[in-house]
Amino acid sequence: MKTTLKGASLVEALVASVIFLTVFLIAMSSLINIARIKVSGPSPVEIEDAVEECIAKFKDESDDSRSYDFDWGVVEVNAKPYETSDGVLDVTVSAKVKYGRTVIYRHIIKRNED
């Protein structure tokens, strides 16, 4: 019982390769154009840096609530005592972007002692 497989001709293989390559190039071009869209407002890295900077400043201060202004919006820091430990604060940080989203972070921090 010998069965023979019918092979594709060279022309058929070339046509299939050209079709595959064309579809691939169209898909890649579409992905590049989608990724090129500029989102208005600050980048997430810029927001993260601002939040870390505000927490570092907040550790040195004695306020329980504070706002920090940036070109892109406001970072609000609110603290309350942590339930189970003295000297430790439960801090909620809200980064509010003008005309956009709000990002909320929660941290457990201990104030810097002089």
Q: What are the backbone angles phi and psi of residue 19, rounded to the nearest 5°?
A: -65, -45
pLDDT digits (tens, 9 = 90+) for 15-30: 999 999 999 999 999 8
- Residue 12 vs residues 7, 8, 17, 19, 77: alpha-carbon distances, Å: 10, 6, 9, 11, 66
Instruction: State how far Cα 11 lies from the chain centre.
Output: 48
For residue range 44-75, list pLDDT tens digits in order: 888 889 888 888 888 877 778 889 998 888 99
Q: Which of 84, 76, 61, 86 is nearest to 106 (CA)?
A: 76
Task: Please give the model's pTM, rounded to 2 decimal places.
Answer: 0.58
Domain residue spans of the chain: 9-38, 44-110
- Lookup result for tokens 């439960």: 90
